[in-house]
Amino acid sequence: MISVCFYFQVHQPYRLRHYSFFDIGQDNYFDDQKNREVLLKVANKCYLPMNRLLLKMAKEHKGEFRFTFSLTGTVVEQYRQWCPEVLDLFRALADTGSVEFLSETYYHSLAGIYSEKEFREQVKMHAKLMRDEFGVTPTSFRNTELIFNNHIGWVAADMGFRSIVTEGTERILGWRSPNFLYVPRYSPQIRTMLKNYRLSDDIAFRFSDRGWTEWPLTVEKFAPWVHNVAGNGNVVNLFMDYETFGEHQWEDTGIFRFMEHLPRAIWTHPDFQFRTVTEAARKHEPVGEVETDHPISWADMERDLSAWTGNSMQREALSTIYELEEPIKRIGDPRLLENWRKLLTSDHFYYMSTKFWQDGDVHKYFSPYGTPHEAYVYFMNCVADLRQRVQNAVAWQ
């Protein structure tokens, strides 16, 4: 049986307010009004209707339709504060037994690249959050933005995870297919599930594109593309942002109807079954190794780190914020530590990207700021204030 794995990423950052040089001295870095506004908008357009639909489908199909989520700590915290109904529906989904919740970094950070110590701490924080909120203990792992290299694979294996999900890019596959399981070269005990980015992006990015030669996308058209994997694969990994449904692809595109009717279209072929990430990793045997010292991700055309490290502003911001890790942890002030960790969220550096063309348009769409330079200035002003607070605390001690 071939496993079809839907995996949905759920994340919202703590966006910064327009924190000017003259605000330094105030530690209210985050724009609560904007964050609440965005959270409620996305809840009403995506999370609430899609959760209700998936709950209906899970019950209707009596456990045969199975899927996987990953929720960051920052999105859970904000919905706990501003729209707890969203979390209630995720708990209801967990109770169906048809849903898996993956582990990840609590603050959706790039710590896997910049600080192994912080990376491990955030993953442990996130695992506790999943137990406390949903009563589950994650057994599979996804790193921020599916970022992966040999070392991240080794650390995930060392922390006891059974599988890790990442991008099925040709950079690590070469001529091979993402529709099989692999293992990281130096960590054969953990299995690697690779995103089929062509089929995933047909839903996530091209669904409503009237310039696409395959528009409109229907279940009658999409299901045979999935069925084509028969004989040349064991898994079809459809990984995407949860906001695909209702936020990126609006309700009037038919995206909810598409999702509702897709399972039955897939089941017209007797060899296909929906499984969660861990279930598929257990079901199938790896066919080879994947290996890369240079990180890959699911972002932008390059599928590397350039979405967050592609220019000097981003690199300086990252270097500056991670330099504060040791003194902040030594001080032991919970508020300082929490603010520092919220500033590690990858979105802050994503907003500083100066890419052009289609990738640049995507960065602009998500950014709450007028320009990448604006994002950089507000961030660095917050860091300047945080650094001053660290220096004051060290002097007082």
Taking CB atoms within 8 Å and a gap of at least 24, the contacts of 33-39 are 34/368, 35/78, 36/78, 36/82, 38/12, 38/368, 39/12, 39/78, 39/79, 39/82, 39/83
pLDDT recorded at residue 395: 78
Residues in the chain: 397
- For residue 38, the one-letter residue type is V
| Residues 279 and 340 both lie in one domain | no
| Residues 70 and 146 both lie in one domain | yes
| Residues 116 and 223 both lie in one domain | yes
- Which residues have CB under 8 Å from 277's CB, separation 6+? 5, 7, 68, 100, 102, 140, 163, 165, 193
Residue 346 carries which DSSP code?
T
Q: Count structural domains, the chain.
A: 2
| Residues 188 and 333 both lie in one domain | no
Tens digits of residue pLDDT in 185-226: 999 999 999 999 999 999 999 999 999 999 999 999 999 999
pLDDT recorded at residue 357: 47
Q: Tokens 């949905």 correspond to what residue?
A: 8
Domain that includes residue 266, residue range? 2-290
pLDDT recorded at residue 359: 46
Taking CB atoms within 8 Å and a gap of at least 24, the contacts of 226-231 are 226/4, 226/199, 226/266, 226/272, 227/266, 227/269, 227/272, 229/2, 229/179, 230/2, 230/269, 230/271, 230/272
145 part of the active site: yes
Q: What strands, in cross-sheet order, belong to the sheet with 163-167?
A: 140-142, 163-167, 191-195
**Which of 100, 104, 118, 145 is flagged as catalytic?**
145
Q: Which residue has the higher pLDDT, 301 or 250?
A: 250
pLDDT level of residue 363 (50, 70, 90 thresholds): very low
| Residues 236 and 310 both lie in one domain | no
Tens digits of residue pLDDT in 229-282: 999 999 999 999 999 999 999 999 999 999 999 999 999 999 999 999 999 999
| Residues 236 and 381 both lie in one domain | no
Task: Out of 290, 321, 350, pick the residue that ends a domain.
Answer: 290
Residue 360 clears pLDDT 60, i.e. is over it: no
| Residues 339 and 249 both lie in one domain | no
* C-alpha to C-alpha distance for 62 and 53, rounded to whole angstroms: 14
